[in-house]
Each structure stands twice: as C-alpha cells, then as structure tokens.
C-alpha cells in the first residue's frame, strides 16, 4: 500500500522535493504540499482504494505523511470490510 500512496503523492501532491527521497514519516506539508494539493491526493486515494474520507478525517494530521495516510486508509478499509 505504501508504494501506491507514494505514487499518488508523487502525481497529485505537487511537492517541491523528490517523493522517493522522503521517509514514510516525513511531513508532506513541510515538503511543499499545499492544502489544495491535499484535496487531489485525497480524491486519488479514494479512487485507488475504493474508500471515502468522512468529514471527521478532513484534518491536517490525516494527510501529513505517507504513514498517516496509510493508517487512515487501513482504518477506512477495515470499516468497509465489516459492513
């Protein structure tokens, strides 16, 4: 999953640095991701993983790193699987 997330951040995050050089915990906002770019990242994640980010997840900490995105997507997929 991390590789897919990294690819989405690369395509939609509009970072000012090389995404491949970032650790999973690196702050994507510090790396140049704007709030508007984070919307595109979110929509691309929803397409790729067939999930929908609810209002409660529309906050900075969810999208601030590849690791935090992975944790959120994992949580959403687990919720979807139990429905």
Residues of the shown chain interacting with other proteins in the complex, contacts defined by CB under 8 A: 12, 14, 34-37, 39-40, 43-44, 46, 55-61
Nearer Cβ to other proteins (52/74)? 52
Nearer Cβ to other proteins (5/44)? 44
Residue ranges of alpha helices (H) inside 1-83 are: 2-12, 35-49, 60-63, 66-81
What's the rounded Cα separation, in Å, for the pair 16 and 50? 28
What's the rounded Cα separation, in Å, for the pair 38 and 25? 16
Give the shortest CB-42-to-other proteins separation in angstroms. Answer: 8
Nearer Cβ to other proteins (35/82)? 35
Give the shortest CB-11-to-other proteins separation in angstroms. Answer: 9
What's the rounded Cα separation, in Å, for the pair 14 and 29? 10
What's the rounded Cα separation, in Å, for the pair 49 and 67? 15
Give the shortest CB-22-to-other proteins separation in angstroms. Answer: 20
């Amino acid at each position: 999953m991390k590789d897919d997330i990294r690819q989405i951040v690369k395509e939609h995050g509009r970072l000012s640095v090389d995404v491949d050089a970032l650790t999973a915990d690196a702050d994507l906002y510090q790396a140049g991701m704007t709030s508007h770019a984070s919307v595109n990242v979110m929509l691309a994640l929803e397409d790729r993983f067939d999930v929908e980010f609810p209002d409660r997840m529309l906050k900075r900490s969810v999208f601030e790193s590849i690791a935090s995105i992975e944790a959120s997507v994992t949580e959403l997929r687990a919720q979807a699987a139990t429905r």
